[in-house]
Amino acid sequence: MAVIEQIIAGNWKMNLTLTQGQGFIDTLLTRLKGKELSRKLLLAPNFTLLSALAQRCAGSGIGLVAQNCAFQAAGAFTGETSVAMLKDVGAEYVLVGHSERRQIFGERDDLLRQKVNAVVSGGLIPIFCVGESLDQRQGGEAFDVVISQLRCGLAELPDSQLIVAYEPVWAIGTGRTATPEDARSMHLHIREFLVSQFSWGERVPILYGGSAKPENAAELLAQPEVNGLLVGGASLNPESFLQIAMA
């Protein structure tokens, strides 16, 4: 099995203003002084914070993630933000297919495939999110749903860097976390799919997301199949984000 550096990624969603985000980074960098973290840290703030946070994080090793992007490269698309624009202000990664984009904004598999392709051709790294709903899990469809999301979203992916995030919809923002065993078996399934599709499938980090917090991070991260966490609510506070990063 390839050795994969664990990743702790914070998704701030539509939270934290510029001032709050800068305060977060200042606290985080102060707390990190003199510490050797064995995990890579990523943060996904709102677009409006990217430029300022990129300057503050320069040289720290903390990577910045955009929460979304346009599938087009440029043009008359009012309200959209291209991958080139995100790269220009310091983003290195883009979340694609987060369940909130799928559910609230109706983003479907073919659109997400185009977004993945836009991210890769724009020179950034996609963090492709997948996950089943509660109904789908209870109906025994969880594996099929997740593999179908991967199959569609990654259908045209060239040889590139990629991160996958497994976020069961029923665990997002609910306080209900997948058991380490649930996470483990889904991650194994995802790994098998990636290895079957890509010669580099062994090296793709697979993150778990869904009510990850300081209290459950160590247990989840102890699963060899879990290569890191995508954290929502608990990433809004630098202390709890750091507790997870050091769990």
Residues in contact with ligand 13P by CB under 6 A are 11, 98, 167, 172-173, 209-212, 230-234
Taking the complex as a whole, how short is the minimal distance between the CB of residue 13 and ligand 13P, in angstroms?
7
Residue nearest to ligand 13P (CB): 232
Residues 122, 104, 125, CA angle at the centre, nearest 5°?
20
DSSP H or E segment with residue 238: helix 238-245
Residue placing its CB nearer to ligand 13P in the complex, 192 or 221: 221
Residue placing its CB nearer to ligand 13P in the complex, 125 or 230: 230
Look at the block and give the residue holding tokens 């624009």: 85
* Secondary structure (3-state) at 196: helix
* Residues forming the active site: 98, 167
Q: Which residues contact 102 (CB under 8 A, 6 or more apart)?
A: 108, 112
Taking the complex as a whole, how short is the minimal distance between the CB of residue 55 and ligand 13P, in angstroms?
24
Taking the complex as a whole, how short is the minimal distance between the CB of residue 14 and ligand 13P, in angstroms?
12
Residues 163, 168, 172, CA angle at the centre, nearest 5°?
100
Checking 98-105 for CB contacts under 8 A at 24+ apart, the result is: 98/11, 98/67, 98/68, 98/129, 98/167, 99/129, 99/131, 99/167, 99/169, 99/172, 100/13, 100/172, 101/68, 103/169
- According to DSSP, the residues that pair with 208 across neighbouring strands are 166, 229
Residue placing its CB nearer to ligand 13P in the complex, 200 or 220: 220
Taking the complex as a whole, how short is the minimal distance between the CB of residue 238 and ligand 13P, in angstroms?
15
Residue placing its CB nearer to ligand 13P in the complex, 13 or 88: 13
